[in-house]
Amino acid sequence: MNAIVLRGLARLATEAVAGTSHVVEAVQHEILERLPLPARIAPRVVGGIAGLTHRGVRGIARSVGAGLDRALDVAAPRLARGPETEAERRLRAIANGVLGDHLLASGNPLALPMRIWIGDAPVEPDPAAIAAAGAATPRLLLMLHGLCMGPSQWRRGDHDHGEVLAQAHGFTPVRLEYNSGLRVARNGAELAHLLQQIHDAWPVPLQGIAILAHSMGGLVARSAIHQAREAGMAWPDRVRDLVFLGTPHFGAPLERIGHGVDRLLLATPWSAPLAMAGRLRSAGIVDLRHGAVLDTERAGADASTHPPVPLPRGVRSRVVAASLHEPHSARAQRWIGDGLVPLDSALGRHPDPALALGFRRDSRLVIEDAGHFDLLGDARVGRRLLEWLAPSTRRADG
């Protein structure tokens, strides 16, 4: 196993033992405080014996973790014999989606940097590196993955939307890799600056940028364009097309279920300590509760309390949603949708028409009998992408 992955997992395991100890200690504290123990004994049991035991557990965990770090320092030259395997990359992507903000804050080597991939390798955003990575064309296709995913997961079986669009329409596919556990706005701000670097470094005259975004990637794309325009950057003027695949524009109910469980656990002193474990969700996941795009939108806040960031003017914005049920059923629109994102949320529809994103009818596609991840390889989606992203000089009406 790659040394970076092994070291990161070892640190997470050490932190998990210490974290579990904190939860157990808190539960014991609540229980022991309510037992009919004599006044002179209770403090010793609650703060003494139990506290000493758990401090010992955490001390051992820290010692073991430090020992593992030292052992990995010695073993690293033998472990790091090559790049990460695909399985290791997927493991890192999942860890970043679930705990990415913690990984970054704690200095865990599993934390992913934001970077671009051209072909099968990461590439620096400078002219020489981009030119060396392959034939850069005047049409750039930026592909943004979703939560807990990575740049290689655009391939589904023998199909890859980016490769098909490159062959048919002359795009250069550029796949973004990012820490999907960070707040959407933070990733949006970083992407805005990275795209300016790519815009300035592109080795041939850049005629246009198309953005293809799956799931959370669509929120990051909207955030990046909005923040870049606010900052007066040049690259948004090159964006011609923006296609969302299963993006939770108004949130995903599964994160809301997790938030509801937290509130139930906090309702009683006996179960409140267990909410510590329930809150092990990254800031990125919390942003999915209602589709937060900017820092001015409080993490987890209901989108109905503020107007959404509008679709970018001058860009042809299209949306693809999937439905496991009949698209007109209440279950598809309000709850089930593609299994993760309700149909209304994916289509940018809102009960209040003033808050809806307003995708035009001819800019929407609903795929029936398909799930959230099927959008990455469905032939019906591929055919529509070829139609929507065909070369054109016509600008969107906004």
CATH number of the domain within which 232 lies: 3.40.50.1820
64, 10: one domain: yes
Lowest mean pLDDT among 94-98, 151-155, 190-194, 211-215: 94-98
- What pLDDT does residue 94 have? 87
Q: How many CA atoms lie within 13 A of 345 on its CB side?
A: 33
Report CA torsion sign: 120, 125, 131, 137: positive
Domain count along the chain: 2
Contact 367, 380 (CB under 8 A): yes
- What pLDDT does residue 306 have? 61
Which pair of tokens denotes residue 351?
A: 């009960």
Q: Which pLDDT band holds residue 15 (cuts at 50, 70, 90)? A: low
User: Rounded to a whole number, what is the distance in angstroms from the first to the last CA of the chain?
Assistant: 49
The rounded distance, in Å, linking the Cα atoms of 23 and 153 is: 36
**Is residue 200 domain-resident?**
yes
Report CA torsion sign: 53, 54, 59, 63: positive
Which pair of tokens denotes residue 137?
A: 């064309």
Considering only residues 154 and 335, tell me which one the structure prediction assigns the higher pLDDT.
154
9, 58: one domain: yes
174, 51: one domain: no
Percent composition of the chain: helix, strand, coil (DSSP 3-state, to 5): 50, 15, 35
160, 243: one domain: yes
Torsion of CA 234, 237, 243, 246, to 10 degrees: 50
Q: Is the pLDDT of residue 137 over 70?
A: yes
- What pLDDT does residue 276 have? 46
Q: Is the pLDDT of residue 233 over 50?
A: yes
The residue from 29, 62, 84 where one domain ends is 84
Span 121-150, mean pLDDT?
94
Span 46-64, mean pLDDT?
45
**Is residue 273 domain-resident?**
no
Contact 246, 338 (CB under 8 A): yes
For residue 95, count other CB atoms closer than 10 A to its CB.
24
CB proximity list for 253: less than 8 A, separation 6 or greater: 335, 342
Span 3-23, mean pLDDT?
56
Alpha carbon separation from 386 to 136, 163, 361 (Å, rounded): 20, 11, 18
Q: Is the pLDDT of residue 242 over 60?
A: yes
Span 156-166, mean pLDDT?
95
Helix (H) or strand (E) holding 212: strand 208-214
Q: Which pLDDT band holds residue 298 (cuts at 50, 70, 90)? A: low
73, 152: one domain: no
196, 300: one domain: yes
166, 36: one domain: no
For the chain, what's the residue count? 398
Helix (H) or strand (E) holding 214: strand 208-214
368, 224: one domain: yes
**Please, is 354 exposed, middle or buried when counting C-beta atoms within 10 Å of its C-beta (0-12, 13-18, 19+)?**
exposed
How much of the chain, in percent, has pLDDT values that exceed 90? 51
216, 318: one domain: yes
**Is residue 102 domain-resident?**
no
Span 208-225, mean pLDDT?
98
- What pLDDT does residue 135 have? 79
231, 312: one domain: yes
Strand 115-118, strand 121-123: pairing: antiparallel
- What pLDDT does residue 360 have? 93
**Is residue 269 domain-resident?**
no
- What pLDDT does residue 11 have? 66
Considering only residues 306 and 271, tell me which one the structure prediction assigns the higher pLDDT.
306
Q: Is the pLDDT of residue 186 over 60?
A: yes
Q: Which pLDDT band holds residue 165 (cuts at 50, 70, 90)? A: very high
Q: Which domain holds residue 356?
A: 115-252+289-388
Q: How many CA atoms lie within 13 A of 9 on its CB side?
A: 12
Lowest mean pLDDT among 36-50, 79-93, 270-284: 36-50
Which pair of tokens denotes residue 94?
A: 């999942």
Considering only residues 242 and 274, tell me which one the structure prediction assigns the higher pLDDT.
242
Q: Provide the 8-state DSSP code for 125.
A: S
Model confidence over 310-347: pLDDT tens digits?
999 999 999 999 998 776 666 555 667 888 899 999 99
193, 320: one domain: yes
Amino acid at 164: V
Span 51-75, mean pLDDT?
47
